[in-house]
């Protein structure tokens, strides 16, 4: 550039606010609930014929056309390998199709209640689909009390709205985004009412 003057203006206040909001979100996140962090490393993997059959069924459901039933409910008796199957599913689809995972654990603080469930999903969403990050952080910045609000309010503001705005802004097919969220061991959430509320907001 020759002649005249070039002036660059950076909104450092906005950058600082976003950084602060991200730190706040992270403080309300339980990284131990991720499929690939900390305690999750010790989870068993799927290595039996029965597990392989179920894993194949889930894979077909994930990779197939948009299903009429958006939730795949995996159920069975205790210690039959459900967590191992879901761990294998998470490993298989991370990072291309997996948005987030939350592995509840009765004896693990932060993973045995609902308080950090939605923030943990939102944090992973911001990483899996970067276009949602600014929208999520704007909510946290404007109203830090979001983490004390109801699960339905948190889902609406931290998950649904950022996804919708990202899709509108980019004008892309939502199916091109990662679209899988894994929740394991909901029965290990010690608040039975919260278990029902989580099921309600996920539908």
Q: Give the model confidence (pLDDT) of 114-148 as tens digits.
A: 999 999 999 999 999 999 999 999 999 999 999 99
User: Per residue in 51-101, pLDDT tens?
Assistant: 888 999 999 999 887 666 789 999 887 777 889 899 999 999 998 999 999
Residues 163 and 179: beta-carbon distance below 8 Å: no
Percentage of residues in the chain having pLDDT higher than 90: 64
The length of the chain, given as a count of residues: 203
Query: What values do phi and psi take at 37, rounded to 5?
Result: -130, 140
Measured N-to-C along each axis, helices 82-93 and 49-63 cross at an angle, to the nearest 10 degrees, of 40
Identify the pLDDT of residue 1: 39
Q: Residue 102: beta bridge partners?
A: 183
Identify the pLDDT of residue 188: 95
- What contacts 77, CB < 8 A, 6 or more positions away? none
Our CA angle for 134, 178, 39, nearest 5°, is 90
Identify the pLDDT of residue 45: 63
Looking at the predicted structure, is the pLDDT value of residue 181 above 90? yes
Query: What values do phi and psi take at 181, rounded to 5?
Result: -120, 130
* Selected residue with higher pLDDT from 76 and 16: 76
The pTM of this model reads 0.86
Percentage of residues in the chain having pLDDT higher than 70: 83
């Amino acid at each position: 550039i020759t002649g005249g003057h070039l002036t660059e203006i950076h909104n450092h206040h906005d950058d600082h606010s976003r950084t602060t909001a991200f730190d706040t979100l992270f403080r309300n996140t339980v990284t131990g609930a991720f499929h690939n962090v900390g305690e999750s490393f010790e989870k068993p993997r799927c290595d039996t014929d029965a597990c392989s059959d179920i894993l194949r069924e889930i894979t077909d459901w994930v990779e197939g056309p948009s299903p009429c039933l958006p939730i795949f409910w995996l159920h069975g008796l205790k210690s039959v390998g459900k967590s191992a199957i879901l761990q294998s599913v998470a490993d298989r689809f991370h990072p291309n199709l997996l948005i987030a995972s939350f592995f509840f654990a009765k004896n693990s603080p932060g993973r045995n209640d609902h308080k950090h469930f939605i923030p943990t999903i939102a944090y992973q969403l911001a990483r899996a689909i970067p276009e949602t990050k600014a929208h999520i952080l704007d909510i946290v910045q404007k109203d830090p009390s979001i983490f004390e609000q109801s699960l339905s309010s948190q889902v609406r503001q931290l998950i649904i709205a950022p996804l919708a705005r990202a899709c509108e802004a980019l004008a892309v097919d939502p199916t091109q985004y990662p679209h899988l969220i894994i929740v394991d061991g909901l029965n290990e959430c010690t608040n039975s009412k919260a278990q029902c509320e989580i099921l309600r907001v996920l539908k």
